[in-house]
Amino acid sequence: MVEIRFHGRGGQGAVTSAELLVVAAINEGKYGLALPSFGPERRGAPVMAFARISDKPIRIRSGVWRPDIIVVLDPGLLKNNVLDGLKENGIVVVNAPERPSLPAHARVAWVNATQIALEEIGLPITNTTMLGALIKAVPLVNVESLFEPLNIRFGKVGEKNFKALKRAYEETRVER
C-alpha cells in the first residue's frame, strides 16, 4: 500500500487532488481511499488530505501520519512541519520553481505548478498540476487514467486541467 499526504491551503484543491487520484486508481482496478482533514475551514488556511492506493482492500480509515509520499501544493508550507513522519526513502513532491532546500533524507521532485496552472488554466490553482508532478515522481496511475475523472469533475475546463497535468508531468524534475 502506498500512503500519500497532501498539504495545501484552503481553496488550492488538496482534497480534490486526493479524490481524483483515488478515482483514477480505482478505474485502473486498484483499491483506493481518499480522506480530507480540515482545521479552520476558511480559504487560505492549511489543509491536509490523505490518499491510500493498494492492490488489496484498504481497511485503514485514519489519516496518513507515516506517508510514503508528501505532496506540497504551497511551498510556503515547507516552513511548517509538513515533512513530519515521512518514511525512509519517501519522496516530497513540491510546487516550486527551483529545488527546495529539504533535509538530506528526503528525496524530492519539484515543478513550478503555479506558473503552469496560470498559463494553462488561467488560475493559480495547482491541484491538477501537482497530480502530474506526483505521478511523474511515483507512477501510481497512468497519466491517461486521469482524463475521465478530470472531465467529470471540472466539465468544460477539464481539458485545460488535463493539459496542465500533462505539462507538469513533462516538466517535473525528480531526484532519485
What pLDDT, in 10s, does the model give residues 44-89? 788 999 999 999 999 999 999 999 999 999 999 998 889 999 999 8
Q: Which three cell numbers stand for residue 11?
A: 481553496
The phi and psi torsions of 136 (rounded to 5 degrees) equal -70, -40
Confidence (pTM): 0.95
Q: What is the pLDDT of residue 41?
A: 60
Q: Write the pLDDT tens digit of every residue in 115-149.
A: 999 999 999 999 999 999 999 999 999 999 999 99
Torsion angle of the four alpha carbons 89, 94, 98, 100, in this order, in degrees rounded to the nearest 10? -60
Fold entry, domain 2-174: Pyruvate-ferredoxin Oxidoreductase; domain 3 (3.40.920)
Q: How is the chain split into domains, by residue range?
A: 2-174
